[in-house]
């Protein structure tokens, strides 16, 4: 199973999503050989959105059918504006309630729901 660093960035009730082709997803990607998970999360965030994360805080692991997601929360400046880069065609802040109306990957929906539950229970950002 492939390891993936997956990144959650929040601004209030909005979450950062990126689109490759038509589906929306959380920023992130595969690890490079010898790379630490937190470093991969920050690198992928920068490569895909041009945003520099201040830090990457580990939240939890999530296994989908094809990938093992290592999910991190990244702090970014409130003034930072995401811009699509590399293989990303679009990126934007999305209200959590709006996610239902978007075509997203199944792992994205599940990871955001789990992160929201953990946040409500006081065990995550």
Q: Please determine, for residue 125, whether its predicted confidence score (pLDDT) is greater than 80.
A: no
Asked if residues 29 and 5 have their Cβ atoms less than 8 Å apart, the reply is: yes
CATH number at residue 30: 3.90.79.10
Whose CA is closest to 104, among 118, 115, 116, 90?
90
pLDDT tens track for 63-115? 988 899 999 999 888 888 999 998 899 999 999 889 889 999 889 999 999 99
Q: How far apart are CA 98 and CA 95, in angstroms?
A: 5
86 assigned to some structural domain: yes
Do the domain assignments include residue 60? yes
Domain-embedded: residue 70: yes
Q: Are 34 and 3 in contact (CB under 8 A)?
A: no
Nearest to 19 by CA among 93, 66, 84, 113: 84
Owner of token pair 């690198």: 43
- Report field, pTM of the whole predicted structure over 0.85: yes
Residue 125 inside a domain? The answer is no
What is the pLDDT, as a whole number, of residue 26?
A: 96
Cα 43 from Cα 85, distance rounded (Å): 12
Quote the domain boundaries for residue 85. 2-120
How many separate domains does the chain show? 1
| Average pLDDT value over all residues in the chain | 90
What pLDDT, on a 0 to 100 scale, did the predictor assign at position 11? Answer: 87
């Amino acid at each position: 199973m492939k390891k993936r660093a997956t990144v959650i960035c929040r601004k209030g009730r909005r979450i950062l999503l990126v689109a490759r082709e038509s589906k929306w997803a959380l920023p992130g990607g595969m690890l490079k050989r010898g790379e630490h998970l937190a470093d991969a999360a920050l690198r992928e965030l920068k490569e895909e959105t041009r945003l520099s994360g201040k830090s990457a805080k580990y939240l939890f692991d999530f296994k989908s059918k094809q990938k093992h997601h290592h999910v991190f929360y990244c702090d970014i400046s409130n003034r930072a504006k995401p811009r699509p880069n590399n293989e990303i065609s679009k990126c934007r802040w999305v209200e959590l309630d709006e996610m239902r109306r978007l075509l997203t990957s199944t792992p994205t929906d599940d990871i955001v729901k789990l992160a929201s539950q953990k946040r409500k229970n006081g065990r995550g950002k």
